[in-house]
Amino acid sequence: NAGVMQNPRHLVRRRGQEARLRCSPMKGHSHVYWYRQLPEEGLKFMVYLQKENIIDESGMPKERFSAEFPKEGPSILRIQQVVRGDSAAYFCASSPGGGDADTQYFGPGTRLTVL
Amino acid sequence: AQSVAQPEDQVNVAEGNPLTVKCTYSVSGNPYLFWYVQYPNRGLQFLLKYITGDNLVKGSYGFEAEFNKSQTSFHLKKPSALVSDSALYFCAVRDKGGYQKVTFGTGTKLQVIP
């Protein structure tokens, strides 16, 4: 059973470009979470999605950031017009859903560098 | 609102000695508590969780954690540290009454000295 997959693992963008980060959850998982980790900091929750629905986006900046989890295909975190402050590691996690104590399983992360 | 605190940025322990990584939490109701480990340039790996029942939870790689409701703590422990245990450890909490948003601590770097 493959784990959570994220691609690309490393992404370099120039200021003003768009970044698209992809996450394929574990087989059978219908819940996806995105987190951001800055150097020397912990994980910051960004958004929680189920198939075709955003459940909680309280941690996501109001501008330039968006996320989706379509019926088919991976979840996408999209950052428009990137700035240097967006440089970070972005982690996706998935869980089966339906249980109160679902464990979240993490992907290897995408490390975004904005030049 | 829920929160979790890891009061130590770094813990140093000699190989073979017992280790403790501290975590305290705050939730409005009863908590679900988790520990994860992160190795350099990797994602987080699940170690163990507390849901209900026995306060001592055993997890992967010989780690265990003790839930203490009166002290609102969930410290991670291992009887004998290995150099390979050196990594970043995250405690996390979720309120049973809420949906599935989990709050993570800022992490504690564990350094096991040979």
Task: Identify whether the C-beta of residue A105 lies closer than 8 Å to the C-beta of residue B42.
Answer: no
Give the pLDDT of residue A48. Answer: 92
What number of CA atoms fall less than 13 Å from residue A57's CA on the CB side? 14
Which chain B residues touch A48 with a CB distance below 8 Å? 99-101
Alpha-carbon distance of A57 to A62, in angstroms, equals 9
Residue A17 to residues A12, A13, A79, A114, B109, Cα–Cα distance (Å): 10, 6, 9, 9, 34
Which chain A residues touch B94 with a CB distance below 8 Å? 101
Q: Which of B100, B101, B106 to mutate to test the interface with A (most CBs of A within 10 A)?
A: B100
Mean pLDDT of the region A93-108: 81
Which chain B residues touch A32 with a CB distance below 8 Å? none
Instruction: Label residue A97 by pLDDT band (50, 70, 90).
Output: confident
Task: Identify whether the C-beta of residue B111 lies closer than 8 Å to the C-beta of residue B12.
Answer: yes
Whether B89 has its CB under 8 Å from any CB of chain A: the answer is no
Give the pLDDT of residue A2. Answer: 72
Alpha-carbon distance of A90 to B43, in angstroms, equals 10
Render pLDDT for B46-103 as a digit per residue (tens, 0 to 9).
999 998 888 999 999 999 999 999 999 999 999 999 999 999 999 999 877 666 678 8
Task: Please determine, for residue B30, whether its predicted confidence score (pLDDT) is greater than 90.
Answer: no
Task: Please determine, for residue A1, whether its predicted confidence score (pLDDT) is greater than 60.
Answer: no
Whether A112 has its CB under 8 Å from any CB of chain B: the answer is no
Render pLDDT for A53-87 as a digit per residue (tens, 0 to 9).
999 999 999 999 999 999 999 999 999 999 999 99
Mean pLDDT of the region B9-28: 96
Q: Which of B44, B100, B103 sits opposite A106 (nearest CB)?
A: B44
Identity of the amino acid at A7? N
Q: Which of A6, A48, A105 sits opposite B101 (nearest CB)?
A: A48
Nearest chain B residue to A94 by CA distance is B100
Smallest Cα distance from A8 to chain B, Å: 14
Whether B53 has its CB under 8 Å from any CB of chain A: the answer is no
Give the pLDDT of residue A28. Answer: 86
Mean pLDDT of the region B28-36: 90
% pLDDT > 90, chain A: 74
